Structure 1
């Protein structure tokens, strides 16, 4: 089974791509939902590079649920989308990591108009996402085997992604 991680910042298009993959019959899981993620208390550290999402709470993957998902052999290809502080521990289990990215102006507009998720509606949340584009996205870029600019038309993004999937052994 091929396991493919789609990662990127809020507003990069992970959920949209995941919905399209599922509609096309692929097993595609949005790990940013309640089933696979949860709020956890984090230690306040003023020197930390990344601040928690909400006060002293951060949204992280439920490690047991993610591990069970990755261990289940019920499909030829599994797409998992998400971005969480604890996801790097799962990187070795993925055959392919794809960074979905977009210019900051596109991300800001997507956050403003999206209806499936309220995160990114407040000015401080937008500022946090833009800060993460500068601080965390470069790390994701180094971890990813490929990057797709999701400001391209959705059909082009999907064609590129499916071509990458097919090129993997």
Structure 2
């Protein structure tokens, strides 16, 4: 929904939601992908899926692998020029279907020590289990499910992270 559209991606715990909130606080138009776009579906076809097939032992890994955004909805939002700038913030396993729509892609990164501290604050979050934490740490190490883009270190304060992103828009 912008004349210029930017994707802010990153693994769990890297600060996508915090960055989105700070961008909104500064008056930017933001699409919270994990809240308003994401659903569990087939990354190739976009077909919604009810859950893992019978017998899938790694339910959490399956759910992460099938967290997608509707390509037609992303295309529609990008085509709307109501706002001068729109930031799409969140993770999607089918990003390869719409990366070409964005002017720039920012990938939030963090060191493993800071990530562990952030994850320590999540144990009571609904659905957050030790197996999920292990998966997040594995994906952090492998960078699986992340697009290429401009890497942004999110170990600092949220305002400084947003400043780092905004300086690269020009």
After TM superposition, the score normalised by the length of structure 1 is 0.80
**Aligned partner of 1:63 among 71, 85, 93:** 71
Deviation of 1:139 (Å): 4.9
Distance 1:93 1:62 in 2: 14
Q: Which residue of 1 aligns with 2:40?
A: 39
Q: Which residue of 2 aligns with 1:161?
A: 165
Structure 1 alignment gaps of length 5 or more: none
Deviation of 1:80 (Å): 0.4
Root-mean-square deviation (Å): 2.6
Q: Give the SS at the match of 1:83.
A: coil
After TM superposition, the score normalised by the length of structure 2 is 0.79
- Judge conservation of contact 2:107–2:146 (CA < 8 Å) in 1: no
Q: Which residue of 1 aligns with 2:133?
A: 126
Q: Which residue of 1 aligns with 2:114?
A: 106
> Runs of at least 4 residues of structure 1 off by over 6 A?
none
**Cα gap change, 1:5/1:37 in structure 2, threshold over 3 Å: closer, same or farther?**
same
- Judge conservation of contact 2:22–2:159 (CA < 8 Å) in 1: no
Q: Which residue of 1 aligns with 2:152?
A: 148
Deviation of 1:62 (Å): 2.2
Distance 1:151 1:137 in 2: 20
Deviation of 1:136 (Å): 2.9
Q: Which residue of 1 aligns with 2:14?
A: 12
Q: Which residue of 1 aligns with 2:87?
A: 79
**How many pairs were matched up?**
155
Distance 1:153 1:162 in 2: 14
Q: Deviations 1:38-72 (Å, cap 9, x if unpaired)?
A: 1233679x9xxx93127xx8321122322221121
Structure 2 alignment gaps of length 5 or more: 42-48
**Cα gap change, 1:118/1:58 in structure 2, threshold over 3 Å: closer, same or farther?**
farther
Q: Give the SS at the match of 2:168.
A: helix
